Structure 1
Amino acid sequence: MSGGESTHRTWRYRWVILGVATFAQAASGFFVQGIGAMGIHLQRDLSLSTAQLGLLLSAAQLVPLVGLLVAGELLDRYNERWVVGVGACVVAVSLGVGSVVQGYASLLLVLLIVGAGYSTVQPGGSKSVASWFDASQRGLAMGIRQAGLPLGGVLAAAVLPVLAAALGWRVTLTAGALVALLGAVAFMCFYRRPPAQSHPWDSASHYSEPRASLASWFGARLRMLREPSMVKIILSGMSLVSVHSGVGVLTVLYLHEVTAVEAGPAALVLVATQGAGAVGRICLAAWSDRSGSGRYVCVLACMVAVTVGMLALITPLGHSPAAACLLFIWLGFFGIGWYGPWVAHVAESAPPGRTGFALGLAMAVSQIAVVLAPPVLGLLKDLTGSFAPAWGLLAAMTAIALAVTARGERQHRRAPSRPRATA
């Protein structure tokens, strides 16, 4: 076999890497993505308020506040195969244990451990894909990979409510454990690193850094937070991930209570919403590959679309079953689809040799919104008896982030480039 044929076959393997990274994410997030679809069943069987239902989602997202930072550093030091694989196994084992626990408090504890395992899967899969694809296809690849989460949500919203209705909610945890285990096995069996670490973020030069104190190590990495590009990333990420969380936990309840759609059809609308999000992550990321204005312009467009959609839900249009269903699908496409171009932008903005940590840092800070949004939105609904304050809060957050980051993007584009120093 000639060298050219060998290289072609090797780089063709990047599509296998993309496939297993996407499957691992979909499998690891399968159960948590189905919590919103099972909302009616969980509220009935466990006597939960809307805020308590939101806390279940928050429990799964709490540990990643720190776990994503730890995972990012591990990914810059060790093989992604084991970092991601072990994390997915933790998800599987904890869900298996959760299927036999008793009560709401025990379920919260189980979901905390699920979040610890998932901390490695999200940045790990992103770094795996980024290292195998060059800039001309990275956005599309990242979009396909990030579609794993809503694709898992599609399957979860279609399957888990049926299982919960027929066999009880505990069986859904067993199903989630088996699916997560399949994802872990697939990733550990098929993943391998690129044969030549040719990308700047694959550089291992930082491994030879002299040992420093924990404070200086942590401080050096957190200095990324002061970078204008990271500020822009975090503001947009926190607003849009709040929208994603709100849509995930409130869609079925809103359709059932406000538009009188039955529980089964309402869950199917969430399936369609998650499916639209998966399509959005691929299409919007592919657009960012070809956009002469840069990847972040795609994120700005998503923020505009999300603000319009949220405000429309507050109007009489949101009380029409057909219109509300279409609005949620719109919010799925843009309010979930934004993540594809966003995460590609994060990977390309990272300093050399720090891609894993930059991804972990951006995701960890955004995770604050993931943790807070479901219970806060649920509490707003419980206190006011209306979904309008929740939709209004999400629209306001997104509009503010849009105004701030769009202004920063314009200033960045107008700034003259600095001439390079010559020897």
Structure 2
Amino acid sequence: MSASSISSLRRWSMLVIGLAATLCANVFINGVAFLIPTLHDERGLDLARAGLMSSLPSLGMVVTLIAWGYVVDRFGERVVLALGSALTAAAGFAAAAADSLPAIGVFLFLGGMAAASSNTASGRLVVGWFDAEKRGLVMGIRQTAQPLGVGVGALVIPRLAEPFGVSGALLFPAVLCAASALVCLTAVKDPPRPARAEASAEELANPYRGSSLLVRIQLASVLLVVPQALVWTFTLVWLITDRGWSPTSAGTLVMLAQLLGAGGRIGAGRWSDAVLRRSGDIVGARMRPVRIIAFAAAATMAALALTDWLDSPVSIALMMVASVVTVSDNGLAFTAIAEIAGPFWSGRALGAQNTSQLLSAGIAPPLFGGLIGMAGFPATFAVCALFALVAVPVVPAARAR
């Protein structure tokens, strides 16, 4: 086998491992959302309190994302992926063994703190191993870890919760993360990078100083994650309570929607790479598609609100569309931030990106759970459309060749 073939095989194997590690972490982070019906029936929680429980892993991630970014900037991806996955697994096993809801909540929060490691480290791993003309595609593939993790959770966790309850269902993400830790420890190889001592002052400079570019990208991402968080958290509940579906059928549809969402991220990445090859404009190639996606998300959520208010079966198809559109921008923003920040700041910049997004994603479920209880699903969908619409002018269009 030639050296180029070995190099290509290594690049793609690192992508697969990074994708798998982030997928396992996302089953833990997002899986509690699929316990909301069980928390309601078994533990008597209303939607607002169950939504808060489901957001605890995301809130835990907010606390440590930038810290994990600093660690990965200093010590590399292999250490962070293996250690973070192992700690997430430990928190998952502890949550499954706990009896009281407060104790379960504490371990979910701690697990989220540990799971934050995979987001930053796997993103840096992919960006480090691939050239710019392929990064949109490969980061899109890597970003499918989120919808695929949500989909796996939707397919498996409700089925486990029916016979085994909350504790039995929580064992599933714990086992996945334990296996992920072992694979990362033995197989991950950090990408080649210039030594810090040999870097120029410009390469080491803080990319946030003197430019609003990264801040605008992150603000747009925060606005666009709101409809995404709503769709992820409450689709299963909406199908069961509003549309009358069984938990099994609803979980299957959510799994299909997440698979389609994964395809949407890959398609957006290919689109971005094609624009980059034609224009050489890195920021424009990543951000022009994001602006179009933001407008499409606003239109889709508004149409979903109207059709659900009219009790139309078209609303189910629009929910599927929303599951694709609302997640398609994430990979593009993630790629742009890593490229702009450079190898000595990308860990912290990606940590800041994830922190802002996940803080929004953590706050949204309990707030929207309360809004659903007071005003219903159609009004909540309409509010989410406004967030996506506001994001459209925030998306930057500066050139950076």
Matched AA of 1:347: A
SS of the equivalent of 1:36 reads helix
SS of the equivalent of 1:192 reads coil
Matched AA of 2:8: W
Partner of 1:357: 348
Contact 1:31 1:172 in 2 (8 A): no
User: What is the CA-CA distance between 1:344 and the residue it aligns to?
Assistant: 0.9
Contact 2:227 2:387 in 1 (8 A): no
Partner of 1:258: 242
Contact 1:311 1:395 in 2 (8 A): yes
User: What is the CA-CA distance between 1:254 and the residue it aligns to?
Assistant: 1.6
Partner of 2:101: 104
Matched AA of 1:117: A
Matched AA of 1:341: L
Deviation per CA, 1:166-201: give whole Å up to 9, x if none.
22221111111101111111112110023x42xxxx
Partner of 2:377: 387
Deviation per CA, 1:227-265: give whole Å up to 9, x if none.
321122112111121222111111122222222223322
User: What is the CA-CA distance between 1:65 and the residue it aligns to?
Assistant: 2.1
1-structure distance, mates of 2:292, 2:209: 24
Alignment equivalent of 1:290, drawn from 274, 277, 282: 274
User: What is the CA-CA distance between 1:203 and the residue it aligns to?
Assistant: 5.1
Deviation per CA, 1:112-138: give whole Å up to 9, x if none.
111111111101000011000001111
> Structure 1 residues 365, 32: closer, same or farther in 2, change over 3 A?
closer
1:399 is aligned to 2:389 = yes
Range with greater deviation from structure 2 (339-348 or 35-44)? 35-44
1:374 is aligned to 2:365 = yes
User: What is the CA-CA distance between 1:54 and the residue it aligns to?
Assistant: 1.4
Deviation per CA, 1:79-101: give whole Å up to 9, x if none.
21111111111110011011111
**Alignment length (residue pairs):** 392
Partner of 2:339: 348
1:164 is aligned to 2:161 = yes
Query: What TM-score, normalized to structure 1?
Result: 0.87
Contact 2:19 2:122 in 1 (8 A): yes
> Structure 1 residues 225, 281: closer, same or farther in 2, change over 3 A?
farther
Alignment equivalent of 1:35, drawn from 32, 37, 46: 32
User: What is the CA-CA distance between 1:47 and the residue it aligns to?
Assistant: 0.8
1-structure distance, mates of 2:303, 2:240: 18
Range with greater deviation from structure 2 (131-140 or 386-395)? 386-395
Contact 1:311 1:391 in 2 (8 A): yes
SS of the equivalent of 2:45 reads coil
Alignment equivalent of 2:44, drawn from 43, 47, 63: 47
2-structure distance, mates of 1:127, 1:151: 20
Structure 1 residue runs of 4+, over 3 Å off?
205-209, 316-322
1:176 is aligned to 2:173 = yes
Partner of 1:204: 196
Unaligned runs of 5+ in 2: none
Query: What TM-score, normalized to structure 2?
Result: 0.91
> Structure 1 residues 186, 318: closer, same or farther in 2, change over 3 A?
farther
> Structure 1 residues 397, 116: closer, same or farther in 2, change over 3 A?
same
User: What is the CA-CA distance between 1:380 and the residue it aligns to?
Assistant: 1.0
Matched AA of 1:389: A
SS of the equivalent of 2:248 reads helix
Partner of 2:326: 335
Matched AA of 2:241: E
Matched AA of 1:6: A
1:81 is aligned to 2:65 = no
1:152 is aligned to 2:149 = yes
Partner of 2:293: 302
2-structure distance, mates of 1:266, 1:75: 38
> Structure 1 residues 111, 330: closer, same or farther in 2, change over 3 A?
same
2-structure distance, mates of 1:6, 1:250: 49
2-structure distance, mates of 1:94, 1:351: 33
Contact 1:259 1:321 in 2 (8 A): no
2-structure distance, mates of 1:368, 1:39: 20
User: What is the CA-CA distance between 1:321 and the residue it aligns to?
Assistant: 6.3
User: What is the CA-CA distance between 1:33 and the residue it aligns to?
Assistant: 2.3
Contact 2:158 2:247 in 1 (8 A): no
SS of the equivalent of 1:28 reads helix
Alignment equivalent of 2:215, drawn from 217, 228, 231: 231
> Structure 1 residues 275, 319: closer, same or farther in 2, change over 3 A?
farther
Contact 1:100 1:170 in 2 (8 A): yes
Contact 1:259 1:319 in 2 (8 A): no
2-structure distance, mates of 1:241, 1:182: 29
> Structure 1 residues 32, 356: closer, same or farther in 2, change over 3 A?
closer
